Structure 1
């Protein structure tokens, strides 16, 4: 089935695939909806048994790795729609699927700069640990052709559940490099983490220590952060935020079916629709730019900063509007809704707010004042 252009944005508030384009792009909507149904099933298991649920989410991530083409390979719109659909069902599941797909994309992109980059083996599950912290430092050391990692890395989500990860480490005072690491190496120690957050409770993110852990380089020095795919990854995460906002907004649609809205309720529903329309338009345009070859170099970074900032702002606005319209009841007594709101609040804080805006302003200033 195909929604008409007139109904498309309203349809995103119903239990349908999260479509980001309403034109005649051909895609299997039943298959897209299936991603949401599978994610919802995994989410129910996570609620009952987080460990078992995460294992199922990793299986879904592996399946996505074989079915969804990486970003920048001509089907970026479909990738973003799959992740947004999964996120609308459950953000914890989306977090697992997104990080696995991002790692696979990095390994694939490394083929352009390496003759024999590391490969994702059958049955492997991957994460990406690239955050930096002033309280932790991970160093890579070369002994001939052999590299090892030693030190500590913060913010390593699901390190105890994954088999592998792409990890950034220092190879000098100002240089970092990406490495593929088997997290089952005896030199890897996942430290206990007091993850007290209500949001993404099943996806703890804490420190990991490395003691001379064998690592395989992925790209050259600074390649990881300088490649266009690094910025594109920010767009992929924004698609997950957007899907999470759809999941929150759908609760207001449910309320509209349960009772007749007054003018204020209709206004609030209309405002949510406007925000969602804006977000999907931004993501669809980003997908077109990435696949069209227009998002490389500085343009890739500008695109990611704009998309992330736009989606983060509309996420905050949608959450505020939905909470205000629904009142305290759903937050207080509905497990599904309160968890969605908490998950989204934690996930979207990966956007750096004023710092990202300042980074974008710096680029614009340089373009305006340069030769």
Structure 2
């Protein structure tokens, strides 16, 4: 694992993300290769993997829209609608198609770290339209007090706060509805689950390294085996999804939705079980005295909560009942 920078060391965090993404041509990877590489990122750093995955996702989205990313820029994707928050886009006074953006958005990962972001916005027209804009964000304002947890603090996922921020007309990527309607939207979400999988492997790595320095008893051995089984379950789910997505038979939209929902839900459930077993295995000594272990567990626990577990179970139930 990479030693994490301090949460206020934006330069160090940016260097970590650049180190993680490296020279890989991310936009050209098959789903199989993408999931393998994203898993590696999560294993090296959970918050770093989260930021790197956002950069990778942005590069692939831009390619899907026929756009070229700005050379050398670190990207993110800001698309949270948590608790109804939204950024509104209004026409600028110049009447040339330019927009002004106002509103707030939580979970804007990489604040103060990334150079640009793909941001989902909603027009103030009737009916409203959903747009995706590619904008420089180094000087955008955010509430750095909005993140109250030490967990995932290195991701700097603050609440964005915009007040009439101008963007040119050519900032719009792909037209109305593009972000959610593109075929790669749901498979891209499996990429997040690949980072979770790498994070679960990181938990196992750190736990085994710590326990191996002492005497490993039978109960701890059983728990290590249980965590290894959950990690392997995650890898198997990723592999199955990759084979289907890269296969010669094109999936229907419904088949893609079912596959991706099942994969994310299955991986999230396995990761949560692995985390609980890791806590039990570490006990109070691991939680109190091994900061690398308590840190990676806390980071992954918060990150995997991004999964809408109950909502996905309802969706999977509907699929099962429908046959």
The bucket for the TM-score relative to the shorter chain is: 0.7 to 0.9
What is the aligned counterpart of 1:359 among 300, 312, 315? 315
Q: Distance in 2 between matches of 1:60 and 1:162?
A: 14
Query: Is 1:330 aligned with 2:286?
Result: yes
Aligned-pair CA distance for 1:346: 0.9
TM-score, length of structure 2 as denominator length: 0.88
Q: Name the counterpart of 2:120.
A: 168
* CA 175–296 in structure 1, closer or farther in 2 if over 3 Å, else same: farther
What is the aligned counterpart of 2:100 among 148, 153, 157? 148
Gaps of at least 5 residues in structure 2 are none
Could you say what secondary structure the match of 2:155 adopts? coil
Gaps of at least 5 residues in structure 1 are 1-39, 112-116
What is the aligned counterpart of 1:306 among 245, 262, 266? 262
After superposition, the C-alpha distances for 1:56-93 in whole angstroms (9 at most, x for unaligned) are 123225x54x41433xx553222222221221121111
Q: Distance in 1 between matches of 2:209 and 2:150?
A: 24
Q: CA RMSD in A?
A: 2.4
How many residues get paired?
314
Q: Distance in 2 between matches of 1:247 and 1:60?
A: 18
Aligned-pair CA distance for 1:312: 0.9
Farther-moved stretch of structure 1 (343-352 vs 167-176): 167-176
What is the aligned counterpart of 2:72 among 123, 131, 137? 123
TM-score, length of structure 1 as denominator length: 0.77
Aligned-pair CA distance for 1:209: 2.8
Aligned-pair CA distance for 1:296: 5.1
Q: Name the counterpart of 1:19.
A: none
After superposition, the C-alpha distances for 1:343-367 in whole angstroms (9 at most, x for unaligned) are 00111010011012223334555x5
Q: Distance in 1 between matches of 2:239 and 2:63?
A: 23
Query: 5 Å matches for 1:84-163?
Result: 84-111=39-66, 117=67, 119-134=68-83, 136-142=85-91, 143-163=95-115
What is the aligned counterpart of 2:296 among 322, 340, 344? 340
